[in-house]
């Protein structure tokens, strides 16, 4: 598989972009929800882009999954689970990040072994 072609990483980038921008249209915009979603969304974008640029790095797929998990649990950690808009955005984008990261493991391992 070539660089910039793995759909799992593009899905993680899209989920991160949505999470980072969701604070614009979700209400209420509490401090914790806004900043957690923006920071974790940007980290998910960065990890997804890095994984797209270096598709043989298995560790990046684990990092994408870990950031997705952090985004998923952020409504409880940031105490905004009661706010439906930000909470559901975090849960869905986090789940997409976890699934994309774990689903990208097999192609990344295949590329890693082909380069080794």
The Cβ of residue 8 has, within 10 Å, a number of other Cβ atoms equal to: 24
- Residues 103 and 65: their CA atoms lie apart, in Å, by 9
Residue 67 · residue 97 · CB < 8 Å? yes
Nearest-angstrom CA–CA distance, 100 and 108: 12
- Residue 1 pLDDT grade (very low, low, confident, very high; cuts 50, 70, 90): low
Mean pLDDT of all residues in the chain?
93
Residue 41 predicted with pLDDT over 80: yes
Q: Which of 25-39, 57-71, 76-90 has the highest mean pLDDT?
A: 57-71
Question: Is the pLDDT score of 16 beyond 70?
Answer: yes
Is residue 103 within 8 Å of residue 48, measured between CB atoms? no
Q: Locate 10 and state its tokens.
A: 């593009």
Distance (Å, whole) CA 80 – CA 71: 12
* Cβ(34)–Cβ(84) below 8 Å: no
């Amino acid at each position: 598989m070539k660089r910039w072609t793995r759909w799992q990483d593009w899905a993680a980038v899209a989920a991160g972009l949505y999470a980072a921008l969701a604070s614009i249209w979700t209400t209420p915009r509490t401090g914790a929800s806004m900043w957690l979603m923006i920071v974790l969304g940007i980290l998910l974008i960065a990890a997804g882009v890095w994984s797209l640029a270096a598709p043989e790095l298995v560790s990046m797929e684990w990092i994408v999954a870990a950031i997705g998990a952090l985004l998923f649990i952020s409504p409880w950690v940031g105490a905004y689970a009661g706010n439906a808009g930000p909470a559901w955005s975090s849960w869905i984008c986090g789940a997409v990040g976890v699934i994309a990261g774990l689903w990208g493991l097999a192609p990344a391992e295949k590329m890693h072994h082909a380069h080794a």
